[in-house]
Amino acid sequence: MEIRLAKEAGFCFGVKRAVGTVYEKINTGRPIYTYGPIVHNEEVVRQLEEKGVKVIEGPEALSKMTPEPDAIVIIRAHGVPKETYRLLEEKGFEVVDATCPFVKKIHKIVSEKSAVGDSILIVGDPLHPEVIGIKGQFSGECIVLKDVSDAENFVGYPEKKYTLVSQTTFQSKKFKEIVEILEKKEYNVHVVNTICNATEERQRAAEVLANEADAMIVIGSAGSSNTRKLYEICKNCCENTFYVQTPDDPYLDKIRSANLVGITAGASTPQKLIEEVQNNVRRTYF
């Protein structure tokens, strides 16, 4: 059996930056909070909790809090609405913004375009914190298109100007399909492809490997949007694709007959977890 790791897998720049920011602030000795889990990976969050980092789960939890006078809250990589910044500062937190720079770029685009009258279209999951954060940057019209069906059913107005952006972790091929559908409708849509390069490279590398592999292992949290998309891509190319959240998940027996096992991992998956899964496969078959 050959075990091959995709060329691009695991922590992306934005996640490394956000997690690194938390560890840097832990060293101050001050009370540390994150607004929402810093990334969508339970193991990373658990390790931070062991070091005293607390998670504010949302607006309701925040409203009930009385933070310590010197408390720090770190904005997660996904970003948050403007209103959340205001509420955190009102509570007396020192706010440290670890929003991914690629997400901040989207915030800037939608704020500027909304200010000049454009309606905003966001391609992504309406319940994902990144999309919620993007919507919360302005007060104008905003429509979220979560899939091809939403794009087909979208009815706009010829006299309106639209700016279309994407959740950074959206599947590249599906984004292009949605854009093609909107172009056929001949609305005045300015398209800005805001899928981050790291996401596209990770998806391409996973697809290449899945086309060659007899079995694919996709490592990451069930709550991770980009990991779910990696799974979809791999499953389309390799029927024997398995989602693994921990090294103890029951996947080893399912790949026993494979000659080539491919492994990829979502952007919130720590290197240690990837290595543990690789080592489990090696110990079982070598």
Q: Where are the domains of the chain?
A: 2-10+198-285, 13-99, 102-191
Catalytic one of 2, 60, 83, 130: 130
- Per residue in 36-51, pLDDT (tens digit) is 999 888 888 999 999 9
The pLDDT score that the predictor gives to residue 286 is 61
Confirm if 219 and 267 have CB atoms less than 8 A apart. no
Query: Does residue 284 surpass a pLDDT of 80?
Result: no
Higher pLDDT, 255 or 234: 234
- Per residue in 57-97, pLDDT (tens digit) is 999 999 999 999 999 999 999 999 999 999 999 999 999 99
Higher pLDDT, 284 or 119: 119
Tokens (6 digits) for 278: 């690789």
Confirm if 245 and 218 have CB atoms less than 8 A apart. no
pTM of this structure: 0.85
β-pair partners for 273? none
Confirm if 268 and 15 have CB atoms less than 8 A apart. yes
Residue type, 137: Q
Architecture of domain 102-191: 3-Layer(aba) Sandwich (3.40)
Q: What is the rounded average pLDDT for all residues in the chain?
A: 93
How far is residue 91 from each of residues 31, 61, 215, measured CA to CA in Å?
A: 14, 12, 50
Distance CA 108, CA 268 (A): 24
Distance CA 74, CA 31 (A): 11
Strands 260-265 and 72-75: unpaired
Query: Does residue 120 surpass a pLDDT of 90?
Result: yes
Instruction: Report percent pLDDT > 70 for the chain.
Output: 99
**Phi, psi (rounded to 5 degrees) for 280:** -60, -45
Let me know if 159 is a catalytic residue.
Answer: no
Locate tokens 């919620």: which residue? 132
Nearest to 121 by CA among 135, 139, 107, 104: 135
**CATH (one of 3.40.50.11270, 3.40.47.10, 3.40.50.720, 3.40.50.300) for 13-99:** 3.40.50.11270
Residue type, 97: D
Confirm if 98 and 25 have CB atoms less than 8 A apart. no
Distance CA 67, CA 62 (A): 9
Q: Please check whether the two domains, 2-10+198-285 and 102-191, share a CATH topology.
A: yes
Q: In CATH terms, is domain 2-10+198-285 a member of 3.40.120.10?
A: no
